[in-house]
Structure 1
């Protein structure tokens, strides 16, 4: 974070009471009620979801605006900086566990549940009594083909292109970080802006991929265990790329306003950490969802 002056190192800045946590809880609750109702085809679910989403956007805009103003005023010292770093580390760790759960579901379905349904190990009786014709081949829509017939997306088309885009974006955000530490303002804005554009390009191609899957391949969330794991993993990753791109864009505007210098720029570092995390998760997705 930037500092207008150096506050007392022995004083830990504690902001005044804030309305944002309370409003954020209401917005999050409204959003989840809306999306749950929408998925269950309740008529009012969709509008409630968008109302909750708008509330969350407003809360984040206001809350982070307060944090930025506190930072620019110089309210944060080294102790606060350490707290920010620890908070970001734990946040990314929670995200690692989040994706680990979905990768674990993919592993369980593919390596354990599917062979059992096919008659291996403890699944001999299940196969012979319930699904004697089931072939344990991946990808699968499940016994009795409850998910219908579908086609998969080839790994060496758009997924490979998106992999190259994200890997390139990891390099450009690193170049921007070096430019910031070196005091090269124009290079900083160029490389960071290029990272934002690459994030948008990734999302564009993922949208193209989803449209192709739904309209031409019959690959949907309802396409059995493969369809559900595919869209849960790639969809949540796409959501994280969206959030990361928005955060990078905000940091670009902050760099344009001169909020950071070579010694005080943790907000930039935090977003860069998050972006590298998104890159690593995508490599796992590309390997285990598309290639293998």
Structure 2
């Protein structure tokens, strides 16, 4: 029994599991509405898009870069998919595939410009975020697309007990991404480039191609998040993605991602998303001003960065 506990607590995500369980337990005691079927359904629906957004940012953090265009690109994909279905009457599958292509292409453009210009990804994605947002509002003139196919809307609202259908894509994406990073050569190369780009190049790893790959995959996950957001809302609104940036950083960093690259965890990021969703839901149940959520997320990010820095300092000291 003790050995199992020791094994559990040796995992980097074990503390998050404990915090989530304690938090859920406190909320269930303080608010009888917390464990109702409908509230659990609301929690899981909130988790779906947030997880994809967090994983999209996590991939660029893995190579030591930052993607500020996650929300803007997701929003562009959202209105593209909605427009293709409403204005052109294209089938759901064709519209979604086109949206995913747009997302991957946007991420590819981010990666290519970053590598060709050798300018920090922070600056490049800041610029492309503005460009994507401009295209978004230029195409829609700030008017949402409301006439979504019933089957598409149903996917975003239907559920089995408290489990929404919307949960299926992010769970599949998380499992595939965890396998990709842990068991495939490109995934290991991605982490190697983030850990030490110079050493990775000396080992024969194509640094530029891997960074472009990270941005492309980040764009693809942002696109999936945009598609699910449309299904969730039942309309393609130009404002989709405008509030994604904070959660995209909060979850990976709380999950222990190294800002310098080379270390990320899909499981820890997912648990961090659960924690953030619990905080948001708890504040709603407690009727606290939602703006305090922003304050708490900022505080959590600062705490996580501080803990990560302390961990790195201790590791450097031990190595010395």
Report the TM-score, using the length of structure 2 for normalisation: 0.29
TM-score (norm 1): 0.31
Q: Which structure has more RCO (C-alpha within 8 Å, separation ≥ 6)?
A: 2
Of structures 1 and 2, the larger Rg is shown by: 1
